[in-house]
Amino acid sequence: MTLDATYLRGSMAAILSVPQHSSCPENIIFHFLTAASNINSTAVLNRTLSTSFPYLKFQFYPFDDHSVAGFISTSIRSALDCPLNYARNYLANLLPPCVQKIVYLDSDLVLVDDIAKLAATPLSVGVVLAAPEYCNANFSSYFTPTFWSNPSLSLTFAGRRACYFNTGVMVIDLARWRDGDYTKKIEEWMELQKRMRIYELGSLPPFLLVFAGNIGPVDHRWNQHGLGGDNFHGLCRDLHPGPVSLLHWSGKGKPWARLDANRPCPLDALWAPYDLLETRYVLLFLVKYIRDMEQLNATIIVVLNYRELVSQLINWNNGSCL
Mind giving me the DSSP string for 127-146? --EEE-EETTS-GGGGS-HH
What's the pLDDT at 39?
75
2 DSSP 8-state letter: B
CA–CA separation, 240 and 78 (whole Å)? 27
What's the pLDDT at 168?
97
What's the pLDDT at 287?
47
- Cα dihedral value 119, 272, 221, 58, nearest 10: -10
Where b means 16+ CB within 10 Å and e means fewer, 136-162 reads eeebeebbbeebeeeeebeebbeeeeb
What's the pLDDT at 234?
65
Closest CA to 2 of 79, 116, 98, 112: 79
Q: Does domain 8-277 have CATH number 3.90.550.10?
A: yes
CA–CA separation, 217 and 131 (whole Å)? 6
Burial class of residue 312 in the structure, from the number of CB atoms within 10 Å of its CB (0-12 exposed, 13-18 middle, 19+ buried) = buried
What's the pLDDT at 319?
39
User: Taking a C-beta distance cutoff of 8 angstroms, is the pair 166, 223 a contact?
Assistant: yes
What's the pLDDT at 68?
84
What's the pLDDT at 289?
45
What's the pLDDT at 82?
81
pLDDT per position in the chain (322 positions), as tens? Answer: 999 988 999 999 999 999 999 999 999 999 999 988 877 788 889 999 999 999 999 999 999 988 887 777 766 555 566 888 899 999 999 999 999 999 999 999 999 999 999 999 999 999 999 999 999 999 999 999 999 999 999 999 999 999 999 999 999 999 999 999 999 999 999 999 999 999 987 899 999 999 999 999 999 999 999 999 876 666 898 988 899 999 999 988 999 999 999 999 999 999 999 999 875 544 444 444 444 444 333 323 333 332 343 333 233 333 334 3
239 DSSP 8-state letter: P
What's the pLDDT at 147?
97
Closest CA to 167 of 129, 140, 199: 129
User: Taking a C-beta distance cutoff of 8 angstroms, is the pair 89, 67 a contact?
Assistant: no
What's the pLDDT at 299?
28
What's the pLDDT at 280?
52
CA–CA separation, 278 and 300 (whole Å)? 20
